[in-house]
Amino acid sequence: MTAPDLIVRNATWLDVGAGDYREGDLEIRDGRFVDLESSAATGDAREIDAAGAYVLPGLIDCHVHVTAHTADLAGLGKDSPNYVAMHTARLMGDMLDRGFTTVRDVAGADYGLHDAQAEGLLRGPRLFFGGKALSQTGGHADPRGRGESHVDSAATCAHIGRVADGVDAVRAAARDELRKGAHHIKIMAGGGVASPTDRVDSTQYSLDEITAVVEEAEAANRYVAAHAYTGRAINRALRAGVRSIEHGNLMDDESVALFLEHDAFVTMNLVTYWALMEEGREFGLSQDNWEKVSVVLDGGMTALERAYRGGVNLCYGTDLLGGMQRHQSKEFAIRAEIVPTIDTIRSATSTAARLIQREGELGVIAPGAHGDLIVLDRDPLHDVSVLADAPPRVVVQAGRIVAGG
């Protein structure tokens, strides 16, 4: 039997399913939890004494853009991919320090970043990526201003999206992103804030186009995530088979019913609208786009309450850009105004794992799950600020102490 990678002694650890704490020693071997009660193993194993602390599973952020070192997403495509990669390494390392041992990138990251992290070349969270988001002409991932006509679709371009119009074109684009290893396909199903020519209240892509992308994702045992704010955009996407709605700030009662009918998920990002209003222009957001933020900011808390009260699958996400990514953990405090902290923790652990198709492997402390955990100085169920305001005392990823300790 191989020696353990790590033993966490005297752990008071959170069973996220039950919503309460258990006690015992945690043993991680070959990067996975193997014992949740006690460990007699000694030898070369590294140990952490967690007496008096609180242990949670490693956190999952379901909506990040690891390449977005600026809020000027249109300008991002003009940067050297090598330059962007250097920023990405810094941003991903910071995420890991905050306790996010896994993230889902929903436009921008690719197989190169995924492979570099998996091989230990890049310090950061485990990365699930969708490649480039699919956008219609004039949609949320079309970076062109009104006076531009050329579409740059080169593989080396650092844009977060690609433009594809028509059923055949979107089908081919989806297949191409899946060919490159995408864990999901992202589409822009409605208007957005950080885009130059669309309206927030618009719908994007025809039902036939959305259905074609869903068919391709399902054929590859993957799923579709859709950017959508309004009830109109959300509802048509859910009816077409989209599994994950990003944002959802202007959802309606029909949206809630459709989420439940399809067992779909919503990843809200309330912190990003606060950050964009406060700091967006400082980090590259144009004045025109800044003025669009208030449209979705005001509806966010109402939508969160509607979704929570309705029993929708809520996932934790932040969608922060540029230097605003330092506010990643503040989403815990914002949601605490409406949602009990245990449910927000579930949104960043077990529910998030179900969305990314890794239920039982991530987001839980259980035998066979990846050995990811964070150690906190105070009980987050009674004081959410220990999650929102400071990095964990220790961060463990796959049995390795990667921060603190």
- pLDDT tens figures, 66-100: 999 988 887 888 888 999 999 999 999 999 999 99
C-alpha–C-alpha distance, residues 193 and 276, integer Å: 10
Structure tokens at 388: 């929102």
- Give residue 1's pLDDT: 43
Tokens of 116: 């570099």
Residue 5 is predicted with a pLDDT of: 87
pLDDT reported for residue 124: 98
pLDDT value of residue 155: 47
**pTM confidence score:** 0.94
Number of CB atoms found within 10 A of residue 48's CB: 22
Residue type, 222: R
What span, in angstroms and rounded, lies between the C-alpha atoms of 252 and 232?
9
At residue 152, the pLDDT reads 61
pLDDT of residue 37: 63
CA distances to 95, 170, 226 from 102, in Å:
9, 29, 20
User: What pLDDT, on the 0 to 100 scale, is given for residue 146?
Assistant: 75
The enclosing H or E element of 58 equals: none
Indicate the SS3 state at residue 168: helix
- Coil, helix or strand for 326? helix
User: What pLDDT does residue 281 have?
Assistant: 74
Angstrom distance (rounded) from CA 26 to CA 144: 52
- Distance from first CA to last CA of the chain, Å, rounded? 26
- The C-alpha atoms of residue 241 and residue 219 are separated, in whole angstroms, by 13
Inter-axis angle of helices 287-310 and 270-279, to 10 degrees? 160
pLDDT at 42: 58
Which residues of the chain are under the pLDDT cut of 50?
1, 154-155
Q: Structure tokens of 315?
A: 């996932």
